[in-house]
Amino acid sequence: MARRITRALTLLPAFALAVTAASCAEEVNTSGDSKAGGEINLINDGALTTCTHLPYKPFQFTEGGKTVGFDVDLVDLVAEDLGVEQEIFDTSFESIESGAALDTGQCDLAAAAMTINDTRAKVMDFSDGYYDANQALLVKKGSGISDLASLKGKVLGVQLGTTGEQYAEDHKEEFGYTTRQFEDLALLETAVKTGQIAAGINDNSVLYDFVKSNPDVEVTTEFETGEQYGIAVRKGNGALLAKVNEVLDAAKKDGRYDEIYEKWFGKKPESK
């Protein structure tokens, strides 16, 4: 996929940037592995580059020509602590969750409502968990589809490379449905809404958000998968990982995390 910068951010003038960098506790450059407490490496001067996959509302999506969302606001806290600006790089979710986007230097970190799991942890390093999630089922209102058993002989839509896809594949023989892949969340939701497929599976929060503005669809059940999202860095980038964890921990303690959470979900978090 071609590089698409979706959040244009004004960088500091060279002199101001130099002053800002000098005042920061960390020295920031652009090469090499590192350990916690060591030098933080960024791929672009003056910017913390974040890989994500749009749209995935309310975690990351485009509004008013800018990329906004829960994940975006959290990573802004990290960028602020480093004295740089966040820059968003929109790429395929497959390249993110495979670790390829990080390994090839497309970004410093990935924040894409991405579940921490053992497979992904082999190719990238994850922060502490920052959001709890389960899978859920989206259907047309009044369809009569209440669970996976109701999908026998029907088509269940999945988003490519997601834990929802894996959950659907793990249970399709048991319940007798087939799956159809979609590149992104919006295509999956539209396919349910327009009747192209009988149902779609994805993370609960994004489906509930879609239902708010689309009353002709509904979430009929959740699947207790017990997932946690994490911010990912390239394997071995211990200094940046430690900084992300430090900022997340501070934000949870001083109330900034709660404020951001309530901004995007309309309520305080039940857990942190």
Residues 27 and 122 in one domain: yes
Residues 195 and 244 in one domain: no
Q: What is the pLDDT of residues 248-272, one digit of tens each?
A: 999 999 999 999 999 999 999 986 5
- How high is the pLDDT of residue 38? 85
Verify cis geometry, omega within 30 degrees of 0, for the bond prior to 13.
Answer: no
Owning domain of residue 190: 133-227
Residues 249 and 212 in one domain: no
Query: Which DSSP symbol is given to 128?
Result: S
The reply to whether 104 falls in a domain is yes
**6, pLDDT greater than 60:** no
The reply to whether 20 falls in a domain is yes
The reply to whether 272 falls in a domain is no
Residues 74 and 32 in one domain: yes
Residues 247 and 122 in one domain: yes
Residues 126 and 243 in one domain: yes
User: How many whole angstroms separate alpha carbon 259 and alpha carbon 114?
Assistant: 21
Residues 217 and 242 in one domain: no
Q: What is the CATH number of the domain that holds 171?
A: 3.40.190.10
**27, pLDDT greater than 90:** no
Residues 9 and 115 in one domain: yes
Residues 111 and 158 in one domain: no
Q: What is the pLDDT of residues 72-119, one digit of tens each?
A: 999 999 999 999 999 999 999 999 999 999 999 999 999 999 999 999
**37, pLDDT greater than 90:** no
Residues 211 and 101 in one domain: no
Residue 56 carries which side chain, given as an amino acid letter?
Answer: Y
- How high is the pLDDT of residue 13? 38
CB 148 within 8 A of CB 201: no
Mean pLDDT for the stretch of residues 27-36: 55
Residues 219 and 173 in one domain: yes
Residues 114 and 143 in one domain: no
**3, pLDDT greater than 50:** no
The reply to whether 255 falls in a domain is yes
- Please give the full DSSP string across 195-248, using - where no structure is assigned: TSSSEEEEEHHHHHHHHHT-TTEEEEEEEEEEEEE--EEETTBHHHHHHHHHHH
The reply to whether 52 falls in a domain is yes
The reply to whether 18 falls in a domain is yes
Q: Enter the tokens of residue 83.
A: 């004295």
